[in-house]
Amino acid sequence: MLLLISPDGVEEALDCAKAAEHLDIVDVKKPDEGSLGANFPWVIREIRDAVPADKPVSATVGDVPYKPGTVAQAALGAVVSGATYIKVGLYGCTTPDQGIEVMRAVVRAVKDHRPDALVVASGYADAHRIGCVNPLAVPDIAARSGADAAMLDTAVKDGTRLFDHVPPDVCAEFVRLAHASGRLAALAGSVTQADLGPLTRIGTDIVGVRGAVCEGGDRNTGRIQPHLVAAFRTEMDRHAREHTAGVSSVR
């Protein structure tokens, strides 16, 4: 499982750079503009320059409306600015067809410019609170639009967690559906170390984290702490080892 960490700007990205050996992807967002709030192009560029070249930079395009042209242009802005994972939060899409239309436009805009960039279709575990597409529709939206990954995050950051809205067995189905069409499965939403056991067991490819590696566990008032990133990774590695040992002992 890969660890994606979301700093809120250049200063925090520098703290991520100090913990670079413990993380896999640096994810640029602007939390005060929403769960998947988009940051400025120059911030993406500065963060790309600040983190080691072997660490991919991801950028969120926003909690987007059902406006395929607008979103495609924003996605192109993110990839031109140096991000190679482009995440789109399908906030304003109320049906799978709308999600597919938006994501097809994003895939074309991104891959025309940079074919090796990865496009991530993100839904929300608490979709019922905002009226957007059902979480289990997201893997199919990713598959039918040509996106590379299906993701879930929480839309409302009020302390409720991924598993409060989509329990582990449903997340397992999400991962299964994503894998069945050859997509990666990414999960996030106030994930803590306590969630790493189930996330590992169900085969999650990428876990996205911010609050759990911020001072005081607070994604808004706390800053990312390199030692918390290291501790999170240690716990991920422990679960990965235990899972591998468990799988081989039942063979």
Ligand X SMILES: O=C[C@H](O)COP(=O)(O)O
| Site of interaction with ligand X (CB under 6 A) | 4, 6, 27, 153, 157, 188-191, 208-212, 219
- Residues acting as catalytic residues: 29, 87
Q: Which is nearer to ligand X, 177 or 212 (CB)?
A: 212
Shortest CB 112 distance to ligand X, Å:
25
If we measure between CA atoms, which residue out of 73, 107, 70 comes closest to residue 91?
Answer: 70
Closest CB 167 distance from ligand X, rounded Å: 17
CB of 242 to ligand X, least distance (A): 23
Q: Which is nearer to ligand X, 72 or 213 (CB)?
A: 213
Residue nearest to ligand X as judged by C-beta position: 208
Burial 185-211 (b: 16+ CB within 10 A, else e): bbbbbbbebebbebbbebebbbbbbbb
Least separation in angstroms between residue 251's CB and ligand X is 34
Placement of tokens 């607070």 in the chain = 218
Between residues 108 and 157, which has the closer beta carbon with respect to ligand X?
157
Looking at the Cβ atoms of 4 and 13, the one nearer to ligand X is: 4
Q: How far apart are CA 187 and CA 251, in angstroms?
A: 28
Token pair, residue 236, equals 């991920």
Question: What does the DSSP assignment read for 54-65?
Answer: TS-EEEEEEE--
CA geometry: angle 209, 91, 59, nearest 5 deg: 45
